[in-house]
Amino acid sequence: MPMTEKIPPEHLLQWYISAGVDETIGDLAVNHFEQRPETPRVSRQKPQNDPVLFQSAPQKSDALLTTTKTLSLAKQAFSLQELKEIIADFDECPLKKTATNMVFGAGNPQAQLMIIGEAPGAQEDLQGQPFVGPSGHLLDLMLHSVGLDRTEVYISNILPWRPPANRKPSESEIALFTPFIRRHIALIKPKVLLLLGGSAVSALMQTNAGITKIRGRWLTYTDEELTIDAIASFHPAFLLRTPAQKKLSWRDFLAVKKRLTA
C-alpha cells in the first residue's frame, strides 16, 4: 500500500476553518441513552481576570454616557480616513483589547450599494478586512450570481472589533458603535443598503422584528436629511448553517440588483 504524505496539523486546521468547521466530535458515536454513573458536581468559581471569556457589560448609565461620546466623535469625521482614525483611537470598548485588528470597511467608496453585516469573524480579525472568511466567500458568490462584485459595492459591519469566540454582540456594544456606522453610511451615501442579519437591522432600522419576518421587505433608512432604500437579508454565516434558505437570499439579491438599475 503506498505511503501517503502526512499533512502538517496547522495546514489541516486552516483547511477545516476555511471549510466552515466550527466544532469537533469524537471518532465513535455516543449512545446518549446509555445509563452512566452520575458524576459529582464540583463548584468552581469563575475567574475574574480573563477578559476574553468574562467581559461584563457596562452599567446602563455608563453605557449611555459612552454612546453619547461616540455620537459626538462620529460627527467630527468628514472623510472615511478621519472616521477610521477616530474609531481606531477610541479605547472605551473592551472588544478592542481582545481583538487582533480593527475591521473598518472595504470596497468602492463611490458604490451605490453598501452592505452592512454584524461583526468581524476570525479571518476578518486576522486580516483586518470585512467578509474574507467562509461567509465572505459565500457573499462573493451571491454577488456574482446577480452580476455584481466587490469593485461595485462597499462593505462594513456594525462592530469594527471581533467579539471573543464570535459571540453575538451585546445590545450595549451595538448601541455604542451605531453612531459610527451611521456616519459611515452618511459618508458613502449609497443608493441602496443591504443589511445582513438581525443585528444590522435592529441597529439601523429601530425594529425588534426578527430577520425571518423582515427580510425581503423594502425599508427606508433615514438619518437627518439622508434617505436611503434598505433591504434586509440573511447573514451568510446563517446560510452556511442553513443552506435551504439560500433561495430566499437569492431573491433578496435579485431585488437589490433591480433597485440599483431602476
Residue 187 near residue 114 (C-beta atoms within 8 A): no
Decide if 116 contacts 181 (C-beta within 8 A).
Answer: yes
Per-residue confidence band for 143, with pLDDT thresholds at 50, 70 and 90? very high
pLDDT top residue among 251 and 8: 251
pLDDT value at 121 more than 70: yes
pLDDT at residue 53 in the model: 32
Q: What is the 3-state secondary structure (H, E, C) of the chain?
A: CCCCCCCCHHHHHHHHHHCCCCCCCCCCCCCCCCCCCCCCCCCCCCCCCCCCCCCCCCCHHHHHHHHHHHHHHHCCCCCHHHHHHHHHHCCCCCHHHHCCCCCCEEECCCCCEEEEECCCCHHHHHHCCCCCCHHHHHHHHHHHHCCCCHHHEEEEECCCCCCHHHCCCCHHHHHHHHHHHHHHHHHHCCCEEEEECHHHHHHHHCCCCCHHHHCCCEEEEEECCEEEEEEEECCHHHHHHCHHHHHHHHHHHHHHHHHHCC
* Average pLDDT for 19-35: 54
Query: Residue 46's pLDDT is what?
Result: 41
CA-based max dimension of the chain: 72
pLDDT, average across residues 197-205: 94
* 51 CA to centre of own chain: 21
For the chain, the average pLDDT equals 84
Ordered by where they begin, the domains of the chain are 60-260 (3.40.470.10)
State yes or no: pLDDT of 231 exceeds 60. Answer: yes
Q: Which residues pair with 192 in a beta bridge?
A: 113, 229
CB of 230 within 8 A of CB of 196? no
- Inter-residue contact 227 to 186 (CB < 8 Å): no
The owner of cell 451605531 is 178
- Hey, how many other C-beta atoms are within 10 angstroms of the C-beta on 221? 19
What is the average per-residue pLDDT within 50-66?
43
C-alpha span between 142 and 144 (Å, rounded) = 5
CA dihedral 210, 202, 147, 186 (to 10 degrees): 170
Q: Please state the rounded mean pLDDT for residues 16-26.
A: 54
* Type of residue found at 44: R
Of the CA atoms within 13 Å of residue 15, those in its CB half-sphere come to 6
What is the pTM (predicted TM-score) of this model?
A: 0.76
